Amino acid sequence: MADANLVNANLTDAALFGMNLTSTMFCPPLEIGFASDTCADLAGATLSESNLKGAHLSRANLKGADLAHADLAGADLTNADLTNADLTGAKVAGAKFEGAKLKGVRGLPPSL
């Protein structure tokens, strides 16, 4: 599904284990809720202003992803690769970043 256009897709409770969504466009903002994206490839995906509250994104590839102003509160990003991702204005309260790759992340909250 690389380069897919998921405009207006509803992925609430979707199981995207191992899914390759490289450079996929999600507009208007995506609402994932508690979906499981463990190991998903979301490199370069546009997820700005998305509701990813409580999402399971452990080990996800989010290299270069646009997460600006996304709600990541309570999300599990354990061991995720966020290299060069944009977190400008993202809500990260309670999110788990243990072992996450954060090199080159823009808008990285000082607490991380």
Residues whose CB falls within 8 Å of the CB of residue 19, separated by 6 or more in sequence, listed in order: 1, 37, 40, 41
- Rounded percentage of the chain residues whose pLDDT exceeds 90: 32
pLDDT tens-digit readout, 34-77: 444 456 778 888 888 888 888 888 888 899 998 999 888 998 89
Upper half-sphere CA count for residue 32 (Cβ side, 13 Å)? 27
d(CA 99, CA 69): 22
Q: What is the pLDDT of residue 11?
A: 53
DSSP 71: B
pTM over 0.85: no
Which of 68, 74, 70 is CA-nearest to residue 106?
Answer: 68
